[in-house]
């Protein structure tokens, strides 16, 4: 048997997983034989993806958290080119995989997992940590059926709050994110985490998502509306709790204290036991020296280097239009673009009309939230002609999505239109190239 690479007292073995900036390998302590998961991060790749702060945040957050239902960080080692996070090895895989393989869980099993989830989230909030990306992919299940929350790369700490006492970074995963996070007006980390917990509870008991649609505009409409249809096999007690957690109004959404007093939740509830909070975690100072590497000319990187950016980092709704979050994965010259805005539908269409007229388009229709225009090259019959359509969708009273599509015509002209539209609205070329990862 060939021995693996040694990392201090650990011997690295098989690959458990692989991502865009590193691998996760199984490791055993050569002295005790205990198994661990070692997350190996490539510093150069971290610089390319501009996520050094995210990695530092995850390490700093995990150092604070010691709970039986949170993946444990034991130590962080580093070299000049790599960071090694030695983590608790959880054998059962992701909750997402378990549901995908077996479908919904029984209500008894689902309640147990949910109780542990709430225990862990409550502990995090008491420590001033807000996860902001809770989903079944970030909930691991051990050999005994107990959950372990992982991936705190998007978590927020007290220093991330603005002067208004709220968080303002739009992040998370589309199907699990709270409506107030999408609205970009500031949100409370605790209540937004509870929305995500409500979606997880729904998925666990129903076997599918409460809000789902391939069209992001429609998906967001469903999230803002709330009130999902709940299958009849879910008990009335669980249905009531889900509805109170998926309340689109964060001010009336159920709190953790109220959840713990809920009759359905309290059945066979055993709070998590204590852990050793005083145990120290060794972190090599080299782990935080990512910026010591040779700088990279990021302008020369291909757009693929942005693949790891979270979807909602691309949807920063502001008073100006932002095309960055709604580009399709297909080539923009062949398909369509969508962008979000806080402008009124009439103002949006006026702005688009102004841009297309400047490019020599003739507006054929502009009413009922729709605009159609054509640019005709009179010197070449039908050659280089371009017909486009724009439509405004209402997400909520202060948020709109515009869909711009090519009906027919020259792809290069359509690309020029997209570029001019984004330039006139102050959107950078780099943002245009970013593909939405959903």
Binding-site residue set for ATP? 39
Residue 387's CB is within 10 A of a number of other CB atoms, namely 17
Q: How far apart are CA 195 and CA 250, in angstroms?
A: 9
Q: Which residues pair with 390 in a beta bridge?
A: 371, 404
Which are the contacts of 183, defined by CB distance < 8 A and separation ≥ 6? Answer: 224, 317, 396, 398, 399
Q: Is 133 a catalytic residue?
A: yes
Place of tokens 């970013």: 434
Q: Which two tokens stand for residue 419?
A: 């570029």
H or E, element range at 82: strand 82-88
Q: Which two tokens stand for residue 63?
A: 């150092």
> Is 243 in contact with 235 (CB distance < 8 Å)?
no
Q: By the 8 A CB rule, do 233 and 207 touch?
A: no
SS3 185: coil
Q: What is the DSSP letter of 399?
A: E
| Cα 182 from Cα 173, distance rounded (Å) | 11
- What is the SS3 assignment for 110? helix
DSSP letter for 284, please.
-
- Return the closest-CA partner of residue 48 out of 355, 430, 306, 411: 306
Which residue positions form the known binding site?
A: 39
Residue 352 and residue 350: Cα distance in Å, rounded?
Answer: 6
Active-site entry in 119, 133, 193, 247: 133
Element containing residue 78 per DSSP (H, E) = strand 73-78
Backbone angles phi, psi at 317, to 5 degrees: -70, 135
Asked whether the beta carbons of 65 and 26 are under 8 A apart, the reply is: no
Tell me the longest C-alpha to C-alpha distance in the chain: 81
Active site amino acids: 133
């Amino acid at each position: 048997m060939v021995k693996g690479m040694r990392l201090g007292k650990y011997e690295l073995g098989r690959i458990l997983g692989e991502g865009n900036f590193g691998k996760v390998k199984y490791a055993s302590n050569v002295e005790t034989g205990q198994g661990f998961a070692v997350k190996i991060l490539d510093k150069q790749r971290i610089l390319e993806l501009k996520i050094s702060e995210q990695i530092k945040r995850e390490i700093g957050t995990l150092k604070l958290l010691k709970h039986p239902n949170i993946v444990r960080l034991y130590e962080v080692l580093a070299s000049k080119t790599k960071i090694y996070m030695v983590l608790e090895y959880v054998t059962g895989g992701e909750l997402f995989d378990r549901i995908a393989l077996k479908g919904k869980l029984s209500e008894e099993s689902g309640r147990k997992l949910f109780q542990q989830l709430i225990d862990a989230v409550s502990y995090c909030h008491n420590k001033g940590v807000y996860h902001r990306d809770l989903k079944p992919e970030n909930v691991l299940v051990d050999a005994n059926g107990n959950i372990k929350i992982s991936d705190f790369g998007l978590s927020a700490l007290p220093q991330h709050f603005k002067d208004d006492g709220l968080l303002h970074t739009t992040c998370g995963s589309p199907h699990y994110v709270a409506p107030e996070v999408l609205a970009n007006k500031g949100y409370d980390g605790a209540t937004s985490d509870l929305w995500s917990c409500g979606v997880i509870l729904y998925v666990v008991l129903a076997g599918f998502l409460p809000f789902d649609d391939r069209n992001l505009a429609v998906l967001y409409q469903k999230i803002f509306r709330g009130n999902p249809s709940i299958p009849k096999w879910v008990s009335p007690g669980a249905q009531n709790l889900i509805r109170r957690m998926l309340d689109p109004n964060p001010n009336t959404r159920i709190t953790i204290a109220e959840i713990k007093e809920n009759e359905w939740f309290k059945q066979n509830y055993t709070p998590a036991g204590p852990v050793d909070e005083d145990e120290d975690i060794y972190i090599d100072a080299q782990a935080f020296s990512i910026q010591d590497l040779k700088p990279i000319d990021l302008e020369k990187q291909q757009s693929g280097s942005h693949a790891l950016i979270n979807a909602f980092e691309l949807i920063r709704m502001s008073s100006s239009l932002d095309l960055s979050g709604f580009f399709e994965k297909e080539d923009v010259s062949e398909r369509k673009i969508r962008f979000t805005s806080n402008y009124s539908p009439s103002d949006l269409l006026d702005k688009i009309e102004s841009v297309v007229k400047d490019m020599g388009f003739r507006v054929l229709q502009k009413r009922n939230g729709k605009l159609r225009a054509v640019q005709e090259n009179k010197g070449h019959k039908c050659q280089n002609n371009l017909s486009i359509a724009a439509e405004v969708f209402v997400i909520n009273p202060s948020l709109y999505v515009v869909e711009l599509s090519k009906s027919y015509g020259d792809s290069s002209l359509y690309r020029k239109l997209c570029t001019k539209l984004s330039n006139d609205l102050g959107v950078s070329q780099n943002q245009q190239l970013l593909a939405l990862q959903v």
